[in-house]
Structure 1
Amino acid sequence: MQNSRKTPFEEPYIAIIDSLVRRRKQIGVSQIELAAALGYDQSFVSRIERRQRRLDVWEFVRFCRALELNPGDVLDPQLNKAD
């Protein structure tokens, strides 16, 4: 029986993380500054960005808010690809 569970490294997830990294850099926020806004240390943000740790839903929403993004807008392109 094949395991249907998705890994954290599938293309839609990678694209979402890449869009968060792109936005962070676009607005000139360092990993340290983002981590402070989220109440974490810099290594937390680094692990997310290097895809060593997967974001849960609530963390994703917090990342988006800290980066002045609408979570739905970040997800929309990935959801439309699944159609």
Structure 2
Amino acid sequence: MAGTVHTEAYSKLLKALLEVRREAGLSQAQLAKKLGKPPSFVGKYEVGERRLDVIELLFILRVCERESYNFIKFIESQLPDRL
């Protein structure tokens, strides 16, 4: 798969989302249930097999009780100079 899914920046996003889920005390299956998705949904995006769109990201942050603004600012601070 080509594109930004294999970039260092996207890897940092996925790592941060994994931490968000763990800090919320949720397993992949628990998060998936709260999102109304199969457990494979969480597993696949966490390992980079599936890309997330912005709406999905916002729902994940909401379910994990994380402020989207702060999360986005953190990710933005981790971005390299180019894709």
TM-score (norm 2): 0.82
> Identity over the aligned pairs, expressed in percent?
32
Aligned to 1:50: 47
Aligned to 1:36: 33
- Superposed CA offset, 1:5-61 (max 9, x none): 942122222212211111211222011110011010100100000110010010000
Residue 58 of structure 2 aligns with an amino acid whose one-letter code is: V
Could you list the runs of 5+ residues in structure 1 that have no partner in the other structure? Answer: none
The answer to whether the 8 Å contact 1:38/1:62 transfers is: yes
Aligned to 2:76: 79
Aligned to 1:11: 8
User: Following the alignment from structure 1 to structure 2, what is the Cα–Cα distance between the partners of residues 6 and 68?
Assistant: 30
Specify whether residues 10 and 72 from structure 1 end up closer, same or farther in structure 2 by C-alpha distance, changes over 3 A only.
farther
1:66 to 52, 63, 67: 63
User: Following the alignment from structure 1 to structure 2, what is the Cα–Cα distance between the partners of residues 45 and 7?
Assistant: 19
Count matched residues: 79
User: Following the alignment from structure 1 to structure 2, what is the Cα–Cα distance between the partners of residues 57 and 77?
Assistant: 16
Specify whether residues 76 and 39 from structure 1 end up closer, same or farther in structure 2 by C-alpha distance, changes over 3 A only.
same
